[in-house]
Amino acid sequence: MNKFKDKVVVVTGAGSGMGRSYAMEFARCGAHLALMDYDATGLAQTVELVKAATNAEVLQAVFSVADRAAMFAFADSVMQRFGTVDVVINNAGVAGAGLPGWDTSIESYERVMGINFYGVLYGTKAFLPELMRKNSGHIVNVSSIFGLVGAPSHTDYSASKFAVRGFSEALMTELCQTNVGVHLVHPGGIATNIATNTQEGADFSKFNERYLTTSPDDIARVVRQALENGVVKVVYGNNSYKTWLGSNFVPLKWLNRIVWSDVKKTLNLEPYKRAGIR
C-alpha cells in the first residue's frame, strides 16, 4: 500500500538539491506538493520537473524561510488549497561564512541561524497545529553531520544545525505518545549547491570536491523509507556513519583532533596562520 498517495507534502528549499529530490520522490508516490524556495527560477524548474513526470497537484511560493510572517501565510495558503497537511520537510538551508569563529561576523551567525534554525522552527510551528489536531503526520527537520560534530570554519553552520538537532529531539520526546512523527535527518556529504557561495564569498570548492558526493535522490529515498518504517533519526551520506560513530564513541578531546585533521585539507588556512595556529 502506498502510504503517501493523495497526501499533502510540504518541502522548503525545493528549488534545488535535496529539496528538489524530496519533491520528486513524494510526487512519484502520488502525493500533492506545497513547495517553497527563495530562488524563484530554481523553484519553477522543480515544478516543471514534477509536472512532467507525475500528476501531482503543486502549490508554490517564493519567500525566505527566515520570514516568520511569510511562513505562516504559506501555511494558511496550503490549508486553503488542500484542506490539510500530512508531511512537512523543513529542508531549506545555507552555508556559513567558511571562516574560523574569531573571523566570522555576528551578521553571519544571525543570517545562518535565521535560515537554518528559525526557518525550521517557523515551518514546524506553522504546520504542527494541523498535525496535532488530526493526530497524524510527520515533521522532518534537516540537520547535518555538522550537527553531530563541530567542524573548523563552520561555527555558524554547526551552531544552527546543533540547534535543529536539540529542538527536534526535544519535540520528538514531547510527541512520542502521539501519532505525529518527528524525524531528524543528519545528511553527510550530499551533492547539492549549498556550499557554492556565501555572502562573505568563501571558497568551498575543495570542501565540495572532497565531501559532497552522495546523490540527493538517494537521501530522499532513504528519508521516505524512514517515514514509512517509523525511523526517527536518519544519518546518511558520505562520511555520515563514521561521523556518527565518532560523535557517540570517541572522547571529545580526540574527536576534535580527528575532525581538524580531516577537514583542514579543505580550508583556507590563512586565518589560522595569522592566529598562530598551524
Q: Is 157 a catalytic residue?
A: yes
Number of domain units in the chain: 1
pLDDT category of residue 225 using cuts at 50, 70 and 90: very high
pLDDT at 84: 98
Catalytic residue among 118, 157, 211, 272: 157
Q: pLDDT digits over 155-187, tens only?
A: 999 999 999 999 999 999 999 999 999 999 999
CATH number for 40 = 3.40.50.720
1 within domain boundaries: no
43 within domain boundaries: yes
CB burial string 217-253: b at 16+ within 10 A, e below:
bebbbbbbebbeeeeebbbbbbbbeebbebbeebeee
30 within domain boundaries: yes
pLDDT at 266: 85
* Residue 109, domain extent: 8-274
List, edge to edge, every strand of the sheet that includes 58-62: 58-62, 32-37, 8-12, 87-90, 137-142, 180-187, 233-236
Q: pLDDT digits over 98-120, tens only?
A: 999 999 999 999 999 999 999 99
| pTM of the complete model | 0.93
Give burial (CB, 10 Å; 0-12/13-18/19+) of 56.
Answer: buried
Residue-averaged pLDDT of the chain: 92
